[in-house]
Amino acid sequence: MSRKYKFQDQDRLYFISTAIVEWIDVFTRPVYKDIVIESLKYCQQHKDLDIYAWCLMTNHLHLIIGTRGRKMEHTLRDMKQFTAKRILDELKINTKESRREWMLAHFEKAGRLNPGNDIYQFWQHDNHPIELSSFSMFKEKLDYIHNNPVKEGFVTMPEEWLYSSAKSYCTEEPGILEVIVVG
């Protein structure tokens, strides 16, 4: 967690973005994306996390979140630690991953540069929380999150991106992660 960016009011909604060190494109394979989804679901069920919107891109994650009592920074810390460990463990054993040695070397280098790590660093520390103090701010960040895969050219319509809450907002069908739809 960044020392500069903090969650000031736990009763508010926040837009956060968190990225992989060096913006490495880890989330190009379902196995790694599914670990993030599993962790977010766990945090919803056991760590008081409310997710209003989300989008997992190839090297970063956007969320609009709230909490039901537990501090958001603690939940995000736990989610990032869990996903980092699981994905790094998967990388170490997955001999079919063509970028395995390259990625592990970069994560190890980043870990050496940060005295708070044992060996590897997977996620960047900053979450850049932005308090959403009005519905217009919420809508602005919601549109930004959902249009991220369109802007990158991965899909033509936001609801086509599987790893996003856009489907829940644009259609009657639920997405792969339960969200609290606003509006």
| Average pLDDT of the segment spanning 70-94 | 94
Q: Would residue 31 count as lying in a domain?
A: yes
Q: What is the mean pLDDT of residues 149-177?
A: 95
Structure tokens at 97: 């991953």
Structural domains of the chain, count: 1
Q: What is the pLDDT of residue 14?
A: 95
**Per residue in 108-145, pLDDT tens?**
999 999 887 779 999 998 888 999 999 999 999 999 99
Domain-embedded: residue 58: yes
The reported pTM is: 0.92
Is the residue at 41 inside a domain?
yes
Is 176 within the bounds of a domain?
Answer: no
Question: Does a structural domain hold residue 133?
Answer: yes
Whole-number average pLDDT of the chain: 92
Residue 158: inside a domain: yes
Task: Residue 103: give the domain boundaries.
Answer: 14-170
pLDDT tens per residue, range 31-76: 999 999 999 999 999 999 999 999 999 999 999 999 988 888 899 9
In a domain, 93, yes or no: yes
Q: What is the pLDDT of residue 47?
A: 94
Q: Do 176 and 163 form a contact (C-beta atoms < 8 A)?
A: yes
Please report which confidence band the pLDDT of residue 2 belongs to, taking 50, 70 and 90 as the band edges. Answer: very low
Whether 41 and 33 have beta carbons less than 8 Å apart is answered as no
- The answer to whether position 89 is within a domain reads yes
Mean of pLDDT values over 145-172: 96
Tokens (6 digits) for 4: 């500069």
CB 121 within 8 A of CB 111: yes
CA distance 145 to 143: 5
Q: What is the CATH number of the domain that holds 114?
A: 3.30.70.1290
What distances in angstroms separate CA 30 from CA 51, 76, 174, one per listed residue?
21, 21, 19
User: DSSP label at 95?
Assistant: T
Mean pLDDT, residues 98-114: 94
Q: Is 167 exposed, middle or buried (0-12, 13-18, 19+ CB in 10 A)?
A: buried
Look at residue 127 in the predicted model and tell me its pLDDT: 83
Q: How confident is the model at residue 5 (pLDDT cuts 50, 70, 90)?
A: low
Measured distance CA(133)–CA(173) in Å, rounded: 28
Check pLDDT > 90 for residue 173.
no
Per-residue pLDDT band at 172 (split at 50, 70, 90): confident
State what percent of residues in the chain have pLDDT above 90. Answer: 79
* Alpha-carbon span 161 to 147, nearest angstrom: 10
pLDDT-derived band at 87, boundaries 50, 70, 90 = very high
